[in-house]
């Protein structure tokens, strides 16, 4: 199963715009995201982390308002931890999905968090996309965010079910790169998170297609470039007229 998700960007203070990809391959899930957070038309964070931890086997990418996604995923992660301690089992992706959608619906879309949830539990790999108003979709591949159309185009072209891990990672990387280069709200590096049964590979960064260039030349002049014609030295005689001491109040 191929799951990719993109994340949308939102125009707000420190809004994370992300391209999130979630891609389930043969027996796991590959999540991908870019790393740019924008504040209006200005890049606020060139290397932010959009893939959040929910539980050891579940990770969540968040698009939309950065604070909302951060706090929502943290609250759900805490609740899921308490729940798994109470049941004594590894949490299921469907549980996290249900908790998230019920909370987001309660706040009627005022919490601007568009999430892509992916993980592997006892029933296999799962991928869900959760919109800010509380609707969810369970799909083989998902994209969210402002760069989602560019990424979805890559997916629709090259997705096939039951891919291998390297193939899946390459496809996710290409889809996110498509969003990074064709969408203003996404940019910088590509983060990838590969979740399989019992193992999580958080590759941050997986790829850096936007490394800042190094300066080739220098405008500094060599010592001695300017020739000295004449030199005249005039010593200034200064005498001490008044001396005052001002004590500091160090009490």
- Member of 89, 106, 197, 199 binding another protein (CB under 8 A): 106
Cβ nearer to another protein, comparing 101 with 173: 101
184 binds another protein (CB under 8 A): no
Q: DSSP string of 183-240?
A: -TT--S-EEEEEEETTEEEEEEEEE-TTPPPPP----PPPTT-SPP------------
88 binds another protein (CB under 8 A): no
89 binds another protein (CB under 8 A): no
- Cα gap 211→234, rounded to integer Å: 53
Burial class of residue 170 in the structure, from the number of CB atoms within 10 Å of its CB (0-12 exposed, 13-18 middle, 19+ buried) = middle
12 binds another protein (CB under 8 A): no
- Member of 12, 79, 196, 210 binding another protein (CB under 8 A): 79
- Member of 86, 226, 247, 250 binding another protein (CB under 8 A): 86
The span of 6-14, 73-81, 121-129, 150-158 binding another protein (CB under 8 A) equals 73-81
182 binds another protein (CB under 8 A): no
The continuous run of DSSP H or E covering 99 comes out as helix 93-106
- Member of 13, 47, 108, 184 binding another protein (CB under 8 A): 108
122 binds another protein (CB under 8 A): no
For 201-226, b/e burial (b = at least 16 CB within 10 A) is: eebeebbeebeeeeeeeeeeeeeeee
* Cβ 7 vs Cβ 17: under 8 Å: yes
The span of 79-87, 124-132, 203-211, 243-251 binding another protein (CB under 8 A) equals 79-87
Question: Please, what is the minimum distance in Å from the beta carbon of residue 130 to another protein?
Answer: 18
Burial class of residue 130 in the structure, from the number of CB atoms within 10 Å of its CB (0-12 exposed, 13-18 middle, 19+ buried) = buried
Burial class of residue 36 in the structure, from the number of CB atoms within 10 Å of its CB (0-12 exposed, 13-18 middle, 19+ buried) = buried
133 binds another protein (CB under 8 A): no
102 binds another protein (CB under 8 A): no
- Member of 46, 82, 89, 156 binding another protein (CB under 8 A): 82
Residues near another protein (CB under 8 A) are 75, 78-79, 82-83, 86, 106-108, 110
């Amino acid at each position: 199963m191929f799951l990719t998700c993109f994340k949308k960007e939102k125009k707000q203070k420190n809004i994370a715009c992300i391209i999130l990809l979630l891609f389930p391959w043969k027996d796991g899930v590959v999540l991908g995201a870019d790393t740019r957070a924008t504040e209006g038309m200005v890049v606020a964070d060139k290397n932010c982390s959009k893939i959040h931890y929910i539980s050891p086997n579940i990770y969540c990418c968040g698009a939309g308002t950065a604070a909302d996604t951060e706090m929502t995923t943290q609250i759900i992660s805490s609740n899921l931890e308490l729940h798994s301690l109470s049941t004594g089992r590894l949490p299921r992706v469907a549980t996290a999905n249900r908790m998230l959608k019920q909370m987001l619906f309660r706040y009627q879309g005022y919490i601007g968090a568009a999430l892509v949830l992916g993980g592997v539990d006892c029933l296999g790999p799962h991928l869900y996309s959760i919109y800010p108003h509380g609707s969810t979709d369970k799909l083989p591949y998902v994209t969210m965010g402002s760069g989602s159309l560019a990424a979805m185009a890559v997916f629709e072209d090259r997705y096939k079910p039951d891919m291998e891990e390297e193939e899946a990672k390459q496809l996710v990387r290409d889809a996110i790169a498509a969003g990074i280069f064709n969408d203003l709200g996404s940019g910088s590096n590509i983060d990838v998170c590969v979740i399989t049964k019992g193992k999580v590979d958080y590759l941050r960064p997986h790829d850096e297609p936007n490394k800042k260039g190094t300066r080739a030349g220098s405008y500094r002049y060599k010592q001695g470039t300017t020739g000295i014609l004449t030199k005249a030295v005039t010593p200034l005689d200064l005498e001490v007229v008044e001396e005052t001491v001002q004590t500091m109040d160090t009490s």
